């Protein structure tokens, strides 16, 4: 199972057997007032800056989310996707729940994009999947539906199966559906990460498809988020995740380390190459 994404000239392959694919999370105005203001004013220099910094840090792809209350995402999402697609040579993950904004962005995105996301709700399946097919994209499937996000990993897995079946009916193969087992903060429910880790294992065993996580969700509302984010990424990678929407400016070294420790980096070549270009400062 390989999910193949493209930018102007580059190809990224998400593969269950690694190396792990890093999707930069920072073009997302949730909790970022400066970005929210810049998007509302149509000033994209700060977006450029966030794209450049994440690519320098080691991002393989960039997630683009312009979700600010009151902002016209049908107009702004395609503008930002077009700008990033033209000025940076890196595949894009379009992060919106609005099918109209998604279609407007798909029309102007270069290469082959990852649509973030569809879920098990009928309204989502029937509106998002046909767009994925029409624009020859790949898609992230969230394991939630009309009843919300189930606590039982088996029930999350059943929603993954439903999404995969509905995609297959439209001719979208399992290679092009990346399942997101969903992680919520352990600040609200201390079992949240354990449920997600179990779901990763089940989805991987039952379907063999690629698995994505919005990894930084795990630590919302808690102190020292970096420690939790790093620990969770390590556990999720070992459990079988193949990509994450995360912060490449902080966690790329950890991810390269996990690839090496899991026997996916011959002669430690990628780990050492990353270290040479991103030396660790001594205290
Ligand atoms: N699954 C999928 N897509 C997703 C999520 C998911 N997209 C959105 C989100 N969850 C993943 N992206 C982020 C982006 C930023 C943060 C968390 C998850 C974050 N931001 C800081 C905050 O809000 O405090 C602020 C920014 C910063 O300091 O860098 O934590 O689960 N498919």
* Backbone torsions φ then ψ of 142, nearest 5 degrees: -85, 135
* 83 within domain boundaries: yes
Residue whose Cα lies nearest atom 23 of ligand 1: it is 31
Closest Cα partner for 245 from 27, 99, 63? 63
pLDDT in tens, 42-95: 999 999 999 999 999 999 999 999 999 999 999 999 999 999 999 999 999 999
Cis? peptide before 51, omega within 30° of 0: no
Element of type H or E holding 195: helix 192-207
Has residue 54 been placed in a domain?
A: yes
User: Residue 39 sits in a domain of what CATH number?
Assistant: 3.20.20.20
The whole-angstrom separation of Cα 187 and Cα 225 is 11
Residue nearest to atom 24 of ligand 1 (CA): 31
17, exposed or middle or buried, with CB in 10 Å at 0-12, 13-18, 19+?
exposed
CA 17-161-3 angle, 5° bins:
35
Q: List the residue whose alpha carbon is closest to atom 16 of ligand 1.
A: 216
Overall number of domains in the chain: 1
Q: How far apart are CA 238 and CA 242, in angstroms?
A: 10
Tens digit of pLDDT for each residue in 131-172?
999 999 999 999 999 999 999 999 999 999 999 999 999 999
Kindly state whether residue 258 falls inside one of the protein's structural domains.
yes
User: Alpha-carbon torsion 20, 103, 26, 199, what sign?
Assistant: negative
Range of the domain at 52: 15-271
Atom 31, ligand 1: residue with shortest CA distance: 214
What's the CA gap between 158 and 143, in Å, rounded?
8
Q: Is residue 41 part of a domain?
A: yes
Residue with tokens 């790949």: 138
Averaged pLDDT score across all residues of the chain? 97
For residue 144, what pLDDT is reported?
98
Atom in ligand 1 nearest the alpha carbon of residue 31: 23
How far apart are the CA of 220 and the centre of ligand 1, in A? Answer: 9
Contact 5, 113 (CB under 8 A): yes
Write out pLDDT tens, residues 161-194: 999 999 999 999 999 999 999 999 999 999 999 9
Beta bridge partners of 93: 63, 114
**248-272: average pLDDT:** 97
Instruction: Among 3, 25, 32, say which to mutate for ligand 1: greatest number of ligand atoms within 8 Å of CB.
Output: 25
Question: Ligand 1 mean position to 187 CA, how many Å?
Answer: 15
Measured from CB, residues less than 6 Å from any atom of ligand 1 are 25-26, 28, 30-32, 65, 95, 116-117, 140, 180, 182, 212, 214, 216-217, 245
Judge whether 75 and 39 are in contact, CB under 8 Å.
no
In sequence order, the 6+-apart residues with CB closer than 8 A to the CB of 272 are none
Q: In 117-146, which positions are buried (b, 16+ CB within 10 angstroms) versus exposed (e)?
A: bbbbbeebbebbbebbeebebbbbbbbbbe
- pTM of full prediction above 0.85: yes
Which residue's CA is the nearest one to ligand 1's atom 8? Answer: 214
């Amino acid at each position: 199972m390989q999910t193949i994404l493209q930018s102007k000239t580059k190809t990224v392959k998400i593969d269950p057997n690694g190396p792990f694919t890093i999707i930069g999370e920072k073009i997302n105005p949730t909790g970022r007032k400066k970005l929210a203001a810049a998007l509302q004013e149509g000033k994209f220099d700060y977006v450029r800056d966030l794209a450049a910094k994440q690519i320098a840090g080691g991002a393989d792809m960039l997630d683009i989310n312009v979700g600010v209350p009151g902002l016209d995402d049908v107009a702004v999402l395609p503008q930002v996707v077009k700008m990033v697609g033209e000025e940076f040579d890196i595949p894009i993950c379009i992060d919106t729940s609005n099918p109209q904004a998604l279609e407007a962005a798909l029309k102007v995105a270069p290469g082959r994009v990852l649509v973030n996301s569809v879920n098990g709700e009928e309204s989502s399946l029937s509106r998002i999947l046909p767009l994925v097919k029409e624009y020859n994209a790949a898609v992230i499937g969230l394991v939630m539906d009309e009843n919300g996000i189930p606590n039982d990993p088996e029930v999350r897995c059943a929603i993954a199966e439903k999404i995969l079946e509905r995609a297959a009916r439209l001719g979208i193969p399992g290679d092009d559906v990346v399942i997101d087992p969903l992680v919520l903060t352990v600040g609200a429910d201390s079992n949240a990460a354990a449920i997600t880790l179990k779901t990763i294992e089940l989805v991987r065993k039952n379907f063999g498809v690629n698995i994505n996580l919005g990894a930084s969700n795990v630590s919302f509302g808690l102190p020292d988020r970096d420690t939790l984010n790093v620990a969770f990424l390590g556990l999720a990678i070992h459990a079988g995740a193949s990509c994450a929407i995360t912060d490449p400016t902080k966690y790329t070294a950890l991810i390269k380390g996990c690839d090496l420790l899991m026997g996916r980096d011959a002669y430690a070549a990628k780990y050492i190459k990353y270290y040479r270009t991103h030396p660790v400062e001594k205290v």
